[in-house]
A and B are shown apart, each in its own frame.
Chain A
Amino acid sequence: MALISIPLPAHRSIQFNFSSLNGTIRLLSNRRVQLALMILVPILLLTVFRPFLPIPGPLETNLRAMTKPPSFVHLFGTDRMGRDILSRTLAGVQISMFVGFAVALLSLTVGLVMGTLAGFFGGVIDRVMMTITDIFLAFPSLLLAIGLVSVMGTGMLPVVLAISLSDVPRFIRLQRSLVLSLRSRAYIDAARTVKASQMWLMTRHIVPNTLAPLLVAASIAAANAILVEAGLSFLGLGIMPPAPSLGNLIRDGQTYLEQAWWISTLPGAVILLIAISLHFLSDGIRQVLDPRSRK
């Protein structure tokens, strides 16, 4: 579970324009991005089209095929109730992806707003915000999530909120430091000499230039959220069975590790693949943003 730390690309390198075709092409021609998409796209397609695949449903039990090792019929094997692990894994990926996306979006949005306010206006807002983030950052992330889940109960929404709460302070910090470094740029001063409003400065000059580094952080946060959700579910504190979250699958298999190794290990490998590809994605974006980091 990686720390979120994005070195701010130097000013001359934040020249990446997501809206322009040129930017998209540069992004797609990056090797790491290609690699990430090569893993992510098939997994996503399989997940989306799972109902149409010739495999049993994730909750379908089959008493004639209990604890079967991987074979052509059941690529990932079955569990002790004869449920198809591949099918359950794909359903779990769906949940993971949702959690990852929701957490990334939530943290990014809240972090963007609060961080911009703190960095741009400074003063009391900034100090209060920093003290609060300090308090939240004092908790190791999984433990904060455990504490929050104990209050909010288990299930999808509490899990998403619990994980986001430990990410939001990091995003606020990141956005704040981005804003601070942009605030003293010469083009901000130039706009101030013609008495441009605070709103103009923020929406025209500051926020657009922070989006790219925030996106890099968001893709790491998504990977992180997927891992934390799996961890929570594994401890029995996340998404409750029978919903096939990846953490639940691994927890299920733990008891039968000796007899049926595939129940735990194969879903775990899929989590790893997703996390790796999300990291490749963020690395790729960063490389496109800052050519000097390519070393």
Chain B
Amino acid sequence: MLTYSFKRLVQLFVTVLGVVTLVFFTMRLIPGDPISAMAGDNLSGAALDQMRGQMGLNDPLPVQYLTYLGRLAVLDFGTTVTTKLPIVGLILGALPVTVSIALGTIFLTVLISIPLGTLAAYMAHKGNRMLDNIITGVAMVLDLMPPFWTSLVCLLIFSLTLGWFPASGTVSLDDPAMLLRRIALPVLVLSMAQIATLARITRTSVLEVLNEDYVRTARSMGWSELHVLFRHALKNAALPIVTVIGLSFGNLLNGTVIVEFIFTLPGIGNLLVGGMNSRDYQMVQTLIVFYAMIFVAINFTTDLIYRVFDPRVQF
């Protein structure tokens, strides 16, 4: 176990370093440099030079790179270019909203998709194709609906027409009731796509297990269908399902950016889009690295969970 974790950690480190390096140098590929791109034509040459000096942009590229790495190592992400606010503070302020949306979505997704997928698999196994086809068909359509479009449709129906959920309003952790009402629709929208993916994977995994020899062995010992389904099928199917939950987290992060934008929720996705629109590349760079790290960390965790719970994996 330790050996494996160590190897995975080394791999993780290499990946993160690669991510940081890639982002840093890609950002430097911008024609001109970040300062002139940001400032447009408003500042004189001298003022620009002064700003460059302040930001260390006049140093040679390798020096800039090492400085950047050094600052990242102590979690110093710098300040925004326009407002001079520390980026860490902004991220920490916006994080609760994004985390609430993500956790809410995962909760709702697991709650609905695993029973649904299992049911579909069981029906398919018994040759009852109708229910299975309906569930898989609906799952596919939900999966393919562009989240921004679904958001608008939900907004139109539930907020604007029915008035069930507020379309705007301040969001903060101090007012949990409001927070819940505001994130309810985004969570619903994101869950739709996630439920579809997870239900489909659950169906496939459970169906595969149901066709395994050991399931037949359990039947031959006189166990009922329900016992077989819960004690054997779901238990064996759980491992691939956990992996997929980890992998689909990337899509979930994609989705939060879009719903935060549409529902004007002050999460980190909105920071990113804001950064893009105000050409604050420092901000964009930091946020993209941040997203990548979350994603990598999540996958690392699910991988370890997988290994802890699968007795077959030897270390």
Contacts and interface: CB of A to CB of B under 8 A. Distances in A.
Interface stretch (B88-96, B212-220, B224-232, B252-260): B252-260
Interface in A177-197: none
Contact of A268 (B143, B152, B281): B152
Nearest to B204: A7
Contact of A253 (B152, B248, B276): B152
Contacts of A268: 145-146, 149, 152-153
Contacts of A258: 156, 160
Interface string B244-276: 100111110110011001100000000011001
Contacts, number: 142
A141 B247 CA distance: 12
Contact of B288 (A139, A254, A275): A139
A254 B152 contact: yes
B18 A131 contact: yes
B206 to A, nearest CB: 12
A150 B30 CA distance: 8
A265 B144 contact: no
A250 B149 CA distance: 7
B22 A135 contact: yes
Interface in A145-177: 146-148, 150-151
A227 B29 CA distance: 27
Interface stretch (B58-66, B107-115, B291-299): B291-299
A142 B254 contact: yes
B237 interface: no
Contacts of B244: 3
A151 B33 CA distance: 11
A253 B160 CA distance: 14
A144 to B, nearest CB: 8
Interface residues of A, number: 43
A276 B288 contact: no
Interface string A210-252: 0000000000000100010011001111000000000100100
Contacts of B67: none
Contact of B253 (A143, A257, A276): A143
A146 B272 contact: yes
Given A235-B261, A272-B141, A272-B146, A140 B254 contact: yes
Contacts of A231: 146-148, 254, 258
Given A150-B30, A231-B146, A268-B149, 8 more contacts: A3-B197, A134-B15, A146-B257, A146-B284, A150-B284, A227-B146, A247-B148, A272-B144
Interface of A: 1-3, 131-132, 134-135, 138-144, 146-148, 150-151, 223, 227, 230-231, 234-237, 247, 250, 253-254, 257-258, 261, 264-265, 268, 271-272, 275-276, 279, 295
8 contacts: A139-B288, A143-B291, A147-B284, A148-B26, A150-B30, A235-B261, A268-B153, A295-B124
